[in-house]
């Protein structure tokens, strides 16, 4: 599957557009879980895609600002406290949708990207799930060097972190607070500046 497909899905999820029709999905569900955590589940035969929604509500932002680290619920290291609370909400739902032999993809923009990498790691590390790909757009950092090492050991070659020129969100929280990026960084040219974080500019810059 191409990056543009994941970028479009990561934009559509903000507007509750008809992702099922877009993908000609056999199954689909838009889910609003606890802590106002939202995602879309899509199935096309044995391909499963989880599309995590980025920040839209005051609840989202209240958890985004919990930048101190705490023990990760699904690993032996510390991660962003706000993200840790939200991965606990999503994990059981996501694993319930996966069947043996599925090709599992995770994607999202901003907060959605952060939840994508955390969920991918939890699935792979705890359940041995075969992750086909993780495509994130303008995703913030969620952990430090121990997280980066653990993640990249098992998912580096499957993870693509797209960053528009001028988008500062992938640089947050800052390195001075011992945060690090994971996966393969893909810098996009085109739309730049403060507005470059907007999801539709990722779609534009991939075309």
What integer pLDDT is reported at residue 57 of this predicted model?
A: 81
Q: What is the CATH number of domain 3-206?
A: 3.40.50.1820
Per-residue pLDDT tens digits of the chain, which is 207 residues long: 899 999 999 999 998 766 656 667 888 899 999 988 999 999 999 999 999 999 888 888 888 889 999 999 999 999 999 999 999 999 999 999 999 999 999 999 999 999 999 999 999 999 999 999 999 999 999 999 999 999 999 999 999 999 999 999 999 999 999 999 999 999 998 766 768 999 999 999 998
In degrees rounded to 5, what are phi and psi of residue 136? Answer: -125, 150
| Predicted TM-score (pTM) of this structure | 0.94
What integer pLDDT is reported at residue 15 of this predicted model?
A: 84
What integer pLDDT is reported at residue 68 of this predicted model?
A: 95
Joined together, the tokens standing for residue 41 give: 């589940």
Domain boundaries in the chain?
3-206
Distance of CA 157 to the CA centre of its chain: 16
Helix (H) or strand (E) holding 67: none
Closest C-alpha to 171, from 196, 201, 206: 196
What integer pLDDT is reported at residue 191 of this predicted model?
A: 64
- Report yes or no: 130 and 76 within 8 Å, Cβ to Cβ: no
């Amino acid at each position: 599957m191409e990056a543009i497909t994941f970028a479009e899905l990561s934009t559509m999820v903000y507007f509750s557009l008809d992702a099922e029709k877009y993908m000609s999905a056999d199954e689909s569900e838009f889910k609003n879980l606890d802590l106002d955590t939202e995602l879309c589940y899509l199935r096309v035969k044995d391909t499963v895609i989880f599309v995590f929604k980025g920040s839209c509500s005051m609840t989202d932002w209240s958890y985004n600002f919990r930048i101190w680290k705490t023990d990760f619920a699904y690993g032996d290291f510390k991660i962003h406290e706000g993200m840790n609370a939200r991965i606990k909400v999503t994990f059981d739902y996501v694993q319930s949708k996966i069947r043996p032999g599925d090709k599992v993809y995770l994607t999202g923009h901003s907060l959605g990207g952060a939840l994508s990498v955390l969920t991918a790691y939890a699935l792979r590390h705890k359940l041995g799930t075969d992750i086909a790909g993780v495509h994130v757009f303008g995703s913030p950092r969620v952990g430090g060097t121990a997280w980066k090492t653990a993640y990249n050991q098992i998912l580096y070659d499957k993870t693509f972190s797209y960053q528009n020129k001028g988008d500062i969100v992938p640089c947050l929280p800052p390195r001075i607070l011992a945060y690090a990026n994971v996966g393969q960084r893909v810098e996009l040219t085109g739309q730049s500046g403060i507005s470059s974080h907007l999801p539709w500019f990722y779609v534009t810059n991939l075309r």
